[in-house]
């Protein structure tokens, strides 16, 4: 059996499916549903943005214990952010700029603006239509609001979402994230000359993969409480560290900021003028910006709502405002900072060629020197590890919906073990496959959110009617 031929066929099929999923139909669906919800809710994400931020921050600082089988609202948002604030913010943004030009950042902003409303709807529906499983844990997400909110004629959508979710988690949630951790650590070790032997580096990567696998298993097998406990500590730390480092780069190159923003806006509609003709398609810029934006903030995917459904709250709409907060933090703030680090630092960008976290790291090193690779490695490790935990929960819930809670522990063990090949293999194809399954997940979710928009509007009216 010729594995090279098989892999070549897989790559060809995946490229065709990916091109369709993330082509014009997907762009219309993702942007269209976001725009539709924005109009239905009277531009909620803009009109109630101060309220969303105030409500979210207020509940973040209000700590307390959650009921059995649930997380605190703060732990729920941290778990959701754990899955979203990850390599998409670092490697994904870099890749979008390289392939789509600086203009991709503009389309990322636009998708985030509309995505705020989409994610608000997803979270609200997830809390409203959630269930309690056999273990007494709160469970919810797209498969449950399809099951409990739509007629039996639409139940196949719930099955499709769960199936695509299970297939996506191993690539999106674990292998690619572990690979990013290894790349970041290797970069730091090579910068300081601590390891310069390829064979030794290979053994170290294997050991690192085993360590990550063990840590993931220990956290995930500890159940929903342990996941929430870890993410509520890890997420604020990693986000603050990364934001401070990024702001330092921007301050150091503040003279370049106006020109960078000019390139972003000009590149959105005329990418050839900014990239020297390498990126000539406006649609390519739009496609990469929206695709990477969705990959980063998961608005439209519905996965983040799975974590929010675990929150110990009786207010679906109130938890929904966390969705607006998440997309703002993830894309408007952190993704923008990543883009500015790359574009302000002056590091050369090979437009038209695929790249990843190394471009972002180069932006930091150009400002701080090679020693910053230690801090970027720590930040990347935190980002990626938290993403592994968040997606582990998503995969478990999807598998539980398809079968039963009895399959969760075996799944957690298999999922944890995926970190080992993720640390030792070239994952170029896996990245592409992961992006494809992300796109496939969005289809049943967006259909459900569109059909349940009346429920969202009604819950929103009732919520504010009680507060008048």
pLDDT in tens, 379-428: 778 878 888 888 888 899 999 999 888 888 898 899 988 888 888 776 66
Across the chain, mean pLDDT equals 82
- Residue 303 — very low, low, confident or very high, per pLDDT cuts 50/70/90? confident
CA 443 – CA 160 distance, rounded (Å): 9
pLDDT tens by residue, 109-152:
988 899 999 999 999 999 999 998 888 888 899 999 999 999 98
Q: Domains of the chain, with CATH numbers?
A: 14-460 (1.20.1740.10)
The pLDDT of residue 359: 83
More confident residue, 88 or 400: 400
Residues facing residue 131 across a β-bridge: 139
Are the C-beta atoms of 184 and 358 separated by less than 8 Å? no
CA-nearest of 314, 360, 273 to 463 is 314
Q: Which two tokens stand for residue 72?
A: 């605190």
Rounded Cα distance, 355 and 417, in Å: 27
Structure tokens at 352: 């038209």
Structure tokens at 147: 């099951």
d(CA 359, CA 16): 27
């Amino acid at each position: 059996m010729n594995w090279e031929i098989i892999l070549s066929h897989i790559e060809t099929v995946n490229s065709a499916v990916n091109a369709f999923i993330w082509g014009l139909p997907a762009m219309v669906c993702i942007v269209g549903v976001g725009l539709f919800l924005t109009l239905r809710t009277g531009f909620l994400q803009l009109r109630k943005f101060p309220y969303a931020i105030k409500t979210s921050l207020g509940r973040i600082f209000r700590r307390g214990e959650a009921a059995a089988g649930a997380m605190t609202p703060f732990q729920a948002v941290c778990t959701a952010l754990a899955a979203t604030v990850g390599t998409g913010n670092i490697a994904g943004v870099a890749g979008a700029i390289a392939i789509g030009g600086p203009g991709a950042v503009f389309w990322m902003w636009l998708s985030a603006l509309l995505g705020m409303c989409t994610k608000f709807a997803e979270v609200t529906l997830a809390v409203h239509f959630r269930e309690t499983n056999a273990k007494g844990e709160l469970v919810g997400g797209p498969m449950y609001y399809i099951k409990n909110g739509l007629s039996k004629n639409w139940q196949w959508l719930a099955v499709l979402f769960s199936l695509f979710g299970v297939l996506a988690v191993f690539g999106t949630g674990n292998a690619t994230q572990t690979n990013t951790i290894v790349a970041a650590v290797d970069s730091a070790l090579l910068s300081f000359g601590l390891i310069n032997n390829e064979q030794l580096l290979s053994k170290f990567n294997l050991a690192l993969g085993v360590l990550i696998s063990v840590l993931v298993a220990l956290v995930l097998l500890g159940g929903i409480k342990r996941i929430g406990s870890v993410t509520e500590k890890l997420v604020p730390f990693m986000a603050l560290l990364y934001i401070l480092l990024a702001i330092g780069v921007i301050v150091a190159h503040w003279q370049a900021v106006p020109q960078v923003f000019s390139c972003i806006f000009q590149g959105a509609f005329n990418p050839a003028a900014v990239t020297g003709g390498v990126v000539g398609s406006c649609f390519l810029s739009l496609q990469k910006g929206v695709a990477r934006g969705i990959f980063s903030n998961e608005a439209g995917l519905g996965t983040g709502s799975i974590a929010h459904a675990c929150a110990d709250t009786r207010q679906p709409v109130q938890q929904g405002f966390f969705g607006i907060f998440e997309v703002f933090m993830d894309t408007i703030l952190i993704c923008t900072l990543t883009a500015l680090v790359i574009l302000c630092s002056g590091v050369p960008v090979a437009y038209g060629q695929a790249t990843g976290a190394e471009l972002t790291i180069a932006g930091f090193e150009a400002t701080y020197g090679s020693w910053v690779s230690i801090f970027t490695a720590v930040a990347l490790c935190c980002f990626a590890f938290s993403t592994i935990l968040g997606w582990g929960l998503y995969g478990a819930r999807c598998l539980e919906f398809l079968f039963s809670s009895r399959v969760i522990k075996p799944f957690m063990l298999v999922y944890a073990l995926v970190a080992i090949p993720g640390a030792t293999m070239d994952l170029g194809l896996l990245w592409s496959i992961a992006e494809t399954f992300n796109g496939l997940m969005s289809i049943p979710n967006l259909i459900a959110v569109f059909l349940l928009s009346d429920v969202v509007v009604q819950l929103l009216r009732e919520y504010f009617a009680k507060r008048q």
